[in-house]
Amino acid sequence: MRQRSVGGRSSCRRSPECQGGHCFRTQGFDGLAGSGFETTGSSMKNSPSYGSYRPHESSCDPLSDWLEQITGNEFVAIDLTLDRIRRVASRLQLLSFEGRVITVAGTNGKGSTVRLLEAVLLASGLSVGSTTSPHLRCLNERICINGCPAGDSTLVEAFEVIGQARGDIALTYFEYVILAALWIMKNARVEVLLLEVGLGGRLDAVNMVDADIAVVTNIDIDHTEFLGSTRELIGAEKAGIFRQGQLAVLGDPNPPASVLAQAHRLDVDLKRRGRDFFVEDDCFLLENQHLPLQQALLPKSSLATALAVLYYGFGLNPQDNHRVMLSTRLSGRLQQIKKNIWLDVGHNPAAARYLCEEMSSRSKGRLRCVYATLGNKDVFGFASALSPVIDGWYLGATLGERGRSARKLAADLARLPQLNIRSVDEDLPSLLATATADQSEDSLLICGSFQCVDKATQWFGDGAV
């Protein structure tokens, strides 16, 4: 069902990475989005987003004009601070809110957890604003009020206000979007704000707002060039969203010591999976409640974490919300679009391990995989983790500055001679045609990036079984 939009029509402005253009997000298409890790440099002066605000000229498509303005930047250095965006937020009075703020960090499962929280809170009668990243089709998806994507006119109005308020302060694309999300939520006077971290936590743009409830879904290895190469280092970055004395829910059953140390240092009210709530034998356990999760459409770990947040943070009984949770879905997260075809945006080894476990029980016959991912991803780790359930691989390309060609992907996977590579094709629609022609009664998994899943969604058509 198509969602209505908040504030006018919501047109689908596809990200240039999907079309081979420059990146909308300053660090690329699969979640390198935290403002503290955005790259900035001497080319600022050449871009409208980095000079003084210029009133927007009239256009038949003002949102596209704004997106062109805030993404037309070349970045050459790293700026590891939140000072710039915090100053603009302060001018717009976007650092404190009447509603409760829930910030969600983690290596995987952030979007699913936000979606689950949103579904239950709305069903409970609360008004909810959410911001997530990245998007599959259009920017509007990133900002929702009561489950409805922001309309074009609302986004344009927000960008206009931010453009005037920032003066000559440099802002990246992601910072613009986060400020727009906060401005839209504040004007909607929502009772709960759900903020998904783009990258890490400590230096992510959403972390300029103090969380009433901090959620860390899990900690694994990804984005090592920004967060560090160990779970301890990555955990320290993600625990940066904790606040003194506030509730924190930890969905990782084996958290790094750095996360626990930060919780102790800030005396947070920590609720941990494996101590305060559990997932055992496909069931959620909390106090005297024992709820089956076998029919869940989203990861069971995300359901468990969200149920714990709702119980400890809002006093909502898991039993009362169980059915809503089981029926909640999210595009690109083990999304079944045909009888035996699945899509998933997973792109790191932890996601591959999850897919391996899930597809071993869901798929029928042999399972084949269409795989295309970005240039900075651990393809060896991903393919190694997923290979036990894959009978044949179809390797494709991702586009844009951070893309990876199909030929490069095949070369990078040459260290895994056990992989049965059936096709290598730079044109993803052509690759999908080959894979489906070969499929017969077998199952097909399409994964590796938001870009790959978006292309597949277009090729097969929207919908889910």
pLDDT digits (tens, 9 = 90+) for 74-95: 343 335 579 999 999 999 999 9
Length of the chain: 465
Answer whether the bond into residue 55 is a cis peptide, omega within 30°: no
Full-model pTM: 0.86
For residue 130, what pLDDT band results from cuts at 50, 70 and 90? very high
Distance in angstroms (rounded) separating the CA atoms of residues 138 and 345: 16
- Residue 343 class from Cβ within 10 Å (0-12 exposed, 13-18 middle, 19+ buried)? buried
Grade residue 43 by pLDDT with cuts at 50, 70 and 90.
Answer: very low
Taking the C-alpha atoms of residue 320 and residue 140, their distance in angstroms, rounded to an integer, is 31
Number of other CB atoms surrounding residue 83 within 10 Å: 10
Higher-scoring residue by pLDDT: 191, 171:
191
Residue with tokens 């829910």: 249
DSSP state at residue 207:
G
Sequence-ordered alpha helix ranges (H) in 189-267: 224-227, 231-238, 257-265
Residue where the block lists tokens 């770990």: 301
Query: Which H helix or E strand runs over 29?
Result: none
* CATH architecture entry for 335-460: Alpha-Beta Complex (3.90)
CA dihedral 205, 211, 214, 219 (to 10 degrees): 20
Instruction: Report the distance separating Cα 70 and Cα 136, nearest Å.
Output: 19
Side-chain-facing half-sphere of 268: CA atoms under 13 Å: 27
Phi, psi of 457, rounded to the nearest 5 degrees: -60, -40
Residue 93: predicted pLDDT = 98
Which of 231, 312, 237 has the alpha carbon at shortest distance from 268? 312
Predicted pLDDT of residue 64: 85
What value does the mean pLDDT take over residues 181-210? Answer: 96
The pLDDT value recorded for residue 19 is: 28
- The pLDDT, as a whole number, for residue 308 is 97
Tell me if residue 187 falls in helix, strand or coil.
Answer: helix
From residue 302, alpha-carbon distances to 111, 128, 215, 252, 316 in Å are 9, 19, 11, 10, 17
**Tens digits of residue pLDDT in 220-261:** 887 777 788 899 999 999 999 999 999 999 999 999 999 999
How sure is the predictor about 31, in pLDDT bands with cuts at 50, 70 and 90? very low
Question: Please, what CATH class does the domain formed by 16-327 belong to?
Answer: alpha beta
Question: What SS3 state is found at 44?
Answer: helix
Give me the residue spans of the domains in the chain: 16-327, 335-460
Sign, CA torsion 410/414/420/422:
positive
In terms of C-beta density within 10 A (0-12 exposed, 13-18 middle, 19 or more buried), how is residue 284 classed?
A: buried
3-state secondary structure of 2: coil
Sign of dihedral through CA atoms 450, 456, 459, 460?
A: negative
